[in-house]
Every structure is written in C-alpha cells, then in structure tokens.
C-alpha cells in the first residue's frame, strides 16, 4: 500500500490574463491533478489562479478588479483551487518567475511557522530528578522520522505559453532556466501537438525535460478567452463556455465591448518594453 507521506506534494500555479476565466482554465487544473495522482508519486494539495496586473498592457485587457472577481466566482465551489490577487495588485508588471518565487516563499514561511508550533517548550529552572520508573522511549533501529518537505510549486500552462518561450524579448533566458530547473512546468497539450518538438529544439528545455510534465488532453476543448470576448462583442451566447456565475457577472457589468477590446491598442506589451534591450532575452532559446 502506498504511503501518502512519501508522496511529493505539489501546488499548481496558473498565471495569465484570465480575460475572462473560462471552463477551459478550470479544466487545466483537473487534467494536471489527474496526471500527477496517476503517477503515484505526487499529491496535488492546492491550485492557485494568479491573474496578471493591469500594467501588463495587453490589448483588450479589462481591469484586474473585474478579472479577479470573476476568477473568485468561478472557483467559489472548488475545494482545492483558489485565487490569489497579489500579482494583480502590483503597480508594475511582474515576471512569472517572481510570482513563482513569491508563492514558494509563502510555502516556506508557512512550513517554518508550522514547525515552530510543534517544538516542545522547555521550561527554565531546576532540573527534575529522573523518576525511577520513568524511562525515555526506546528508538527502534533504522527508524527515522518522516520529514515532510516543502511542496513544489509548478507552473501550470497550455502549450501556447510553453511555445511563447521562443518569442524574442518576451522572456529572459535566465528566467526560463530557473522556471524549468527549480520549479517545473506542467503543460496541457492536445494530442498531435508539436510541444515535444519544441522542447527537442531547445537546449535549455531539453536539459530539464524531466521537469517538464506534458499532459495530453484527449477530450479536446477549444474554448479561449479571445473567442469568448469575440462572441460577446457580437451579442452571441457564451452559456456553457464559462461558469454561469461568470456569465451573469459579465452581463450585469456589461463587460467586453468593441471599446474594451481597443484598450491598450498601440501600447507595447510590458515584457517587450522591459526586455527589448536585454541581451539575455529568449531570442536565442532554440539555439
């Protein structure tokens, strides 16, 4: 019988616009969780949705306040996926690596706090004499305490995000390296996708391929936020494509119009602004 204490605990972190959140976003978490549990080596303990901040400057990106609210409505009935608004509250755009580091540090801090709570308190004062019938528990040979390690935070994404590593100036090479080396990727890809070829053609990704988990999506789902926004602009139904509570929120607040789609039009995306002059950007990823 498998010892659950010996399984590696995993936290799945999904970063992105969530503009708006869709049923496909939620499915990514379920597919990844099934994959890890089927290996018998991992236990997924939490899923985190981290919407990007307004400073990302993506065309058509509505306010983070609305996007975070919709994500929270979409996950309110989930017992393991939650929304974190730390990234979206930042005044400047943050690289995905910094968000991964933040959540890893939170887990480290929580682990230290829990450890301190279980440390026995030693009272100062006179030593008590050893009682004649009082014995220290005898430790069995070869018995070592089970030390729980800090859960691993892995970046959950679709194949489009993985392949975006090859877009010049969108990512820094050192960031990609740290993500795949120290954290790991969980990439949901459709059958027949060229993700494996993309990994093969990149020395960095190939070197750390064992920390890139490819999960095939056999029940294909082509829902995307872009298509949702297009349908809304055209007055078409999005029922069953997003959670009902999200659809109701969009209708109530009259979100996603031709005007909102033009937001940030002509503005250079934050990563391009930041990395354009950086020689360590991902333009050499496939070399």
Which sequence spans correspond to the domains of the chain? 8-113+149-277
Q: Where are the alpha helices (DSSP H) in 137-240?
A: 159-163, 173-178, 195-200, 203-207, 225-233
**Nearest in space to 89 (alpha carbons), one of 80, 99, 97, 79:** 99
The dihedral of CA 11, 14, 20, 23: what is its sign?
negative
- Per-residue pLDDT tens over the stretch 19-46: 999 999 999 999 999 999 999 999 999 9
pLDDT at 139: 47
8-113+149-277: what fold? Rossmann fold (3.40.50)
* Mean pLDDT score, 173-187: 97
pLDDT confidence bin for 93, thresholds 50/70/90:
very high
pLDDT at 42: 97
Residue 192 has pLDDT above 70, yes or no: no
Which is more confidently placed, 135 or 109? 109
- Per-residue pLDDT tens over the stretch 226-260: 999 999 999 999 999 999 999 999 999 999 999 99
Which is more confidently placed, 148 or 198? 198
* Mean pLDDT score, 66-87: 98
- Contact of 283 with 168, CB cutoff 8 Å: yes
Q: Where are the alpha helices (DSSP H) in the chain?
A: 23-39, 64-75, 96-117, 159-163, 173-178, 195-200, 203-207, 225-233, 244-253, 258-261, 270-275
pTM (2 d.p.): 0.86
pLDDT at 190: 77
* Mean pLDDT score, 52-73: 98
For residue 46, the SS3 value is strand
pLDDT at 286: 55
């Amino acid at each position: 019988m498998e010892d659950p204490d010996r399984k590696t605990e995993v936290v799945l972190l999904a970063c992105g616009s969530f503009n708006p959140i869709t049923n496909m976003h939620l499915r990514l978490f379920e597919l990844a969780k099934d994959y890890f549990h089927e290996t018998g080596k991992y236990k997924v303990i939490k899923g985190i949705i981290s919407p990007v901040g307004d400073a990302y400057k993506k065309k058509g990106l509505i306010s983070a306040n609305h996007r975070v609210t919709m994500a929270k409505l979409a996950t309110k009935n989930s017992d393991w996926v939650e929304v974190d608004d730390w990234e979206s509250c930042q005044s400047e755009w943050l690289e995905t690596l910094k968000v991964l580091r933040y959540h890893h540090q939170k887990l480290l801090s929580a682990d230290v706090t829990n450890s301190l709570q279980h440390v026995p308190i030693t009272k100062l004062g006179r030593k008590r004499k050893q009682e004649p019938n009082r014995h220290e528990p005898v430790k069995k040979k070869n018995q070592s305490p089970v030390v729980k390690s800090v859960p691993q935070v892995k970046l959950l994404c679709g194949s489009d995000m993985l392949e975006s590593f090859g877009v010049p100036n969108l990512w820094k090479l050192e960031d990609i390296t740290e993500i795949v080396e120290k954290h790991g990727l969980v990439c949901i890809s459709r059958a027949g996708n060229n993700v494996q070829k993309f990994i093969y053609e990149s020395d960095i990704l190939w070197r750390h391929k064992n920390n890139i988990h490819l999960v095939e999506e056999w029940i294909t789902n082509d829902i995307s936020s872009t298509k949702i926004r297009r349908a809304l602009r055209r007055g078409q139904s999005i029922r069953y494509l997003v959670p009902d509570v999200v659809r109701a929120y969009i209708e109530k607040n009259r979100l996603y119009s031709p005007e909102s789609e033009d937001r940030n039009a002509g503005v250079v995306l934050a990563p391009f602004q930041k990395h354009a002059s950086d020689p360590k950007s991902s333009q050499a990823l496939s070399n």
